[in-house]
Amino acid sequence: MSTADAPERATPRFEGAPPRLLLIQAPYYAEVVGGMRRGVERVAAEAGASLEVVEVAGAYELPAALRMAIQAGRGWDGFVLLGCVVKGETDHYDHICREAMAGVMAITAATGAAVGYGLLTVHTLAQAEARARDDGYNKGAEAAQAALMQVALRRRWGLG
């Protein structure tokens, strides 16, 4: 997919209380995740959402942190998860990516939480950097928009 193929999405606008988002980030590749975080911050600001940030050690810890955040009951309307896994020479990449993705999907499906998932699973660091730029192809911004769209849907249906 090139940047020309990236979908154009408008950031949702909210009436009533501004959304509260929790960003859970695994900054193993700090520059990449930092670039995606800037995208999240931009989209959150456009929506008038507040943003709290916590860090976990790596992508593998993202599902557990999401579960803990939901259980904490602190009134977050939605969650954005960011991380990056670059394929190496071993099958470690395959296991981490599969388990992190499956874990987040299971939690999201079971709870109906509004989640935007920005875990990059790439073959090279250059691929990750291309997805963390400050342009229209920032996967952090896309994850934030996805979370906010889910927040809007939950509110529309009286769930949040």
CATH of the domain at 107: 3.40.50.960
Enumerate the H helices of 20-138 as residue ranges.
Answer: 30-47, 62-72, 92-111, 125-130
pLDDT at 119 over 70: yes
88 versus 37: the higher-pLDDT residue is 37
- CA geometry: angle at 121 spanning 29 and 111, to 5°? 100
Tell me whether residue 82 is in a domain: yes
Q: Which residues pair with 85 in a beta bridge?
A: 121
Residue entry with tokens 């916590």: 54
Under 8 Å between Cβ of 41 and 76: no
For residue 157, what are its two tokens?
A: 């249906």
What would the mean pLDDT of 96-121 be, rounded to a whole number? 97
Q: Is residue 114 part of a domain?
A: yes
Average the pLDDT over 10-32 and give the result.
94
Of 74, 92, 95, 123, the active-site residue reads 92
Report the percent of the chain where pLDDT is more than 90: 84
Per-residue pLDDT, 134: 92
Amino acid at 39: G
Burial status of residue 158 (CB atoms within 10 A of its CB: 0-12, 13-18, 19 or more): exposed
Active site residue 123: no
User: Is residue 18 a part of any domain in this protein?
Assistant: no
Mean pLDDT (whole number) for 112-124 = 97
User: Which of the 8 DSSP states describes residue 127?
Assistant: H
Within-domain flag for 156: no
Distances, alpha carbon 101 to alpha carbons 52, 74, 85, in Å: 22, 24, 12
Is 3's pLDDT higher than 90?
no
Find out whether 84 and 59 touch, Cβ atoms under 8 Å: yes
Which residue range is the domain that position 64 belongs to?
Answer: 24-145
Total of domains in the chain: 1
Whole-number Å distance between alpha carbons of 152 and 97: 28
**Has residue 151 been placed in a domain?**
no
Average pLDDT of the segment spanning 20-31: 97
CA distance 128 to 125: 5
